[in-house]
Amino acid sequence: MPDTPRPEQLDVVIVGAGFSGMYMLYRLRELGMSARVIEAGSGVGGTWYWNRYPGARCDVESMDYSYSFSPELEQEWEWTERYPAQPEILRYAEHVADRFDLRRDMVFETRVSSAHYDEAADRWLVRTDTGHAISARFCVMATGCLSVPKWPEVDGVEEFAGRTFHTGRWPHEGVDFTGRRVGVIGTGSSAIQSIPQIAAQASAVTVFQRTANFSMPAHNRPLSKEEQADLKARYREYRQAARESFVGVPRPLPTRNALDVSHEERVQTYSAGWDYGGLFGLTGAYLDTRLSEEANETAAEFVRSKIREIVSDPEVARRLSPYDHPLGTKRPCVDTGYYKIYNEPHVDLVDVRATPITKVTPTGVQTSDATYEFDDLVFATGFDAMTGALNAIDIRGRDGAALKEKWAEGPRTYLGVSVAGFPNLFMITGPGSPSVLSNMMVSIEQHVEWVSDCLGHLKSNGLSTIEPTDEAENAWVEHVNEVGAATLYPKANSWYMGANVPGKPRVFMPYVGGVGPYREHCTRIAAEGYTGFVLA
């Protein structure tokens, strides 16, 4: 650590300039608090700054996946498509930064390496890789649930002589695959979005699939001015409905169980969902889809029947069909032309469960039964989700206790926003909150507003410290586990469970109780004087 001058003195330090950090800064300014955002990237946007792979696109509709805090902003911004592509979302983030003059309190290309709570001073000392040091009363981790890329655990990756790319760290200038032989490892959302686009340029694409995934068509299309105007005219009530909804998108809730209706009726419902496009038509069609394996299987089999319909080679269709986890227990994907790309003669699928990758060589990939030669390798291998970015920072609370050690058996939080033993530390969409199971924009706004209201409460009551009690945290963790265990989610080896990262504890991390009920709970806790917290 280079010599540091006296740390900059602030009320709040915010780590991360994605949608969470940007809005947090906006709210703190409204409270008249001094704040600085520290961001590793060179610009705002977080996810949409880093994930520039071809085909990167939101799978929540644009009119839903946008801030609601400023009626003027939501009226003036025009979306061009039903599902916005990464460049458009990044432009939106940049527009927000300009419109609210956020950049003047942001430091870019700077990574926070440690955050230590100084008990005597009741302040957080935050240090960065550039030697910047900040002393702040409060620290807000807006570090993202999906911001630390996970590389494949395969020998020889660094030996590969061609170009390598990770979807979550895509070069800003783009990549030209024209005429090249490309290997893609992974078949999650990032792979499913990028493979058709890569295949449109490359001379040959080989996809290495470990787990077949469920994907539904996006049916993306331009968004007409009339459609936007219609929604904008009733945006306030629409946003309110989103806040009260289960997943952060207003939509009618299912009223019946899949197992209580006939096969014909189910197929009709699933077909309508498939034809409408997007995530919810199949995953949210019936009450019991997330709870009963038998009910879930009816939707899963519908997707498999679609794969068989689209993919002409029955053996490839079989390999693409997911059988090892219930539908929705891994984050389902939304695609444009994914399954049908396997009808192209230059696109191949290798099942690496049947024939595991043994190593990456200087010229390609070796599996247990073949050698593949490539010019480029794309790792669409995901993220160390939910806890990765927090554990990458040396966070220490009371008595120098490390958050990483406290979380050795899995994350423990109160409401997904705070941690016992770590006073005045907040997380936006942390583990134990609905976060990744929702339209994240709605969950981000809810957390940011709850935290800023809390800081406003402390300020106006002359208080300086807030910290959850062990009892409240234990009860919340138990509740999160209990509702998670009642669903099918724990049955999948998903990143929700930490199962994608070797050695990570297997714990279902998000809160599955629903965005609306969770919001109500948090609001009640604040209204009752911050039940479960000690305020000093």
**Token reading at 107:** 């430091």
Binding mask 303-332 for ligand NAP (x = CB under 6 A): ----------------------------x-
What is the nearest approach in angstroms of ligand FAD to the Cβ of residue 200? 19
Provide the β-strand partners of residue 185: 208, 379
Spatial separation of the C-alpha atoms in residues 262 and 268, rounded to whole Å: 10
x-or-dash string of contact with ligand FAD, 353-392, rule CB under 6 A? ------------------------------------x---
Shortest Å, Cβ 284 to ligand FAD: 15
Among 18, 46, 152, 431, binds ligand NAP (CB under 6 A): 152
Stretch that binds ligand NAP, among 70-78, 92-100, 187-195, 239-247 (CB under 6 A): 187-195
What DSSP designation does 137 have? E
CB of 188 to ligand FAD, least distance (A): 9
C-beta neighbour count of 449 within 10 angstroms? 18
215 - beta bridge partners? 333
- Interacting stretch for ligand FAD, rule CB under 6 A, among 19-27, 200-208, 218-226, 450-458? 19-27
| 177 touches 376 (CB < 8 A) | yes
Number of residues binding to ligand NAP, judged by CB under 6 A:
29
13 binds ligand FAD (CB under 6 A): no
Q: Which of 37, 141, 146, 442 binds ligand NAP (CB under 6 A)?
A: 146
331-350 binders of ligand NAP (CB under 6 A): 331, 334
From 66, 269, 292, 381, residue interacting with ligand NAP (rule: CB under 6 A): 381
> Could you tell me where the DSSP H helices lie in 381-427?
388-391, 403-406
Is residue 54 a contact partner of residue 75, using CB atoms and an 8 Å limit? Answer: no
Residue in this structure with the two tokens 């030669």, named with its chain if needed? 373
Strand 364-367 relative to strand 357-361, pairing: antiparallel
Spell out the residues 6+ positions from residue 222 whose beta carbon is closer than 8 angstroms to its own. Answer: 80, 81, 82
Among ligand NAP, ligand FAD, none, the one that 191 touches (CB under a kind-dependent 5 to 8 A) is ligand NAP
Q: Which does 393 bind (CB under 5 to 8 A by kind): ligand FAD, ligand NAP, none?
A: ligand FAD
SS3 135: strand
The tokens describing 307, both together, are 């794969």
Distance, CA of 503 to CA of 509 (rounded, Å):
15
Residue choice 26, 59, 217, 387 for contact with ligand FAD (CB under 6 A): 59
d(C-alpha 151, C-alpha 380), whole Å: 8
By the rule CB under 6 A, 218 interacts with ligand FAD: no
Residues numbered 123-182 forming contacts with ligand FAD, rule: CB under 6 A:
142-147
Q: Identify the residue among 58, 140, 295, 341 touching ligand FAD (CB under 6 A).
A: 58
The candidate with the shortest Cα–Cα distance to 367, out of 351, 344, 383, is 351
Q: Which of 56, 317, 365, 477 binds ligand FAD (CB under 6 A)?
A: 56
Q: With CA atoms as reference, report the closest residue to 446 among 304, 244, 187.
A: 244
From the list 117-125, 182-190, 259-267, 287-295, the region that binds ligand NAP by CB under 6 A is 182-190
Q: Residue 267 or 501: which CB sits closer to ligand FAD? A: 501
Taking the complex as a whole, the smallest distance from the CB of residue 147 to ligand FAD amounts, in Å, to: 4
Contact set for ligand NAP, span 354-373 (CB under 6 A)? 357
Under rule CB under 6 A, residue 194 binds ligand FAD: no
What six digits make up the tokens of 282? 């199949």
Q: Is 500 in the site for ligand NAP (CB under 6 A)?
A: yes
What whole-number distance in Å separates Cα of residue 489 and Cα of residue 507? 10
Q: Whose structure tokens read 């040091």? A: 133
Q: Output the CA–CA distances (angstroms, integers) from residue 301 to 273, 324, 390, 431, 448, in the order listed.
A: 14, 12, 38, 31, 40
Cα 51 to Cα 54, 158, 190, distances in angstroms: 9, 22, 9
Q: Does 212 bind ligand NAP (CB under 6 A)?
A: no
Site for ligand FAD contains 422 (CB under 6 A)? no
CB of residue 368 vs ligand NAP: minimum separation in angstroms?
13
**Site membership for ligand NAP, residue 187 (CB under 6 A):** yes
Among 28, 89, 377, 380, binds ligand NAP (CB under 6 A): 380
> Residue 352 binds which entry of ligand FAD, ligand NAP, none, with Cβ cut-offs from 5 to 8 Å by kind?
ligand NAP
Closest by CA position to 373, among listed 158, 203, 167: 203
Ramachandran assignment for 532, one of left (phi > 0), alpha (psi -120 to 50 degrees), beta (any other): left
Phi, then psi, of 287 in degrees rounded to 5: -65, -35
112-118 and 123-128 strand pairing: antiparallel
> Residue 139 forms beta bridges with which residues?
13, 425
Q: Which of 213, 296, 329, 439 lies at the binding interface for ligand FAD (CB under 6 A)?
A: 439
Q: Which residue ranges make up the site for ligand FAD (CB under 6 A)? A: 15-21, 38-41, 46-47, 49, 51, 56, 58-60, 65, 111-112, 142-147, 190, 389, 393, 428-429, 439-440, 444
Q: Which residue ranges make up the site for ligand NAP (CB under 6 A)? A: 58-59, 146, 152-154, 167, 185-191, 193, 208, 210-211, 331, 334, 352, 357, 380-383, 436, 495, 500
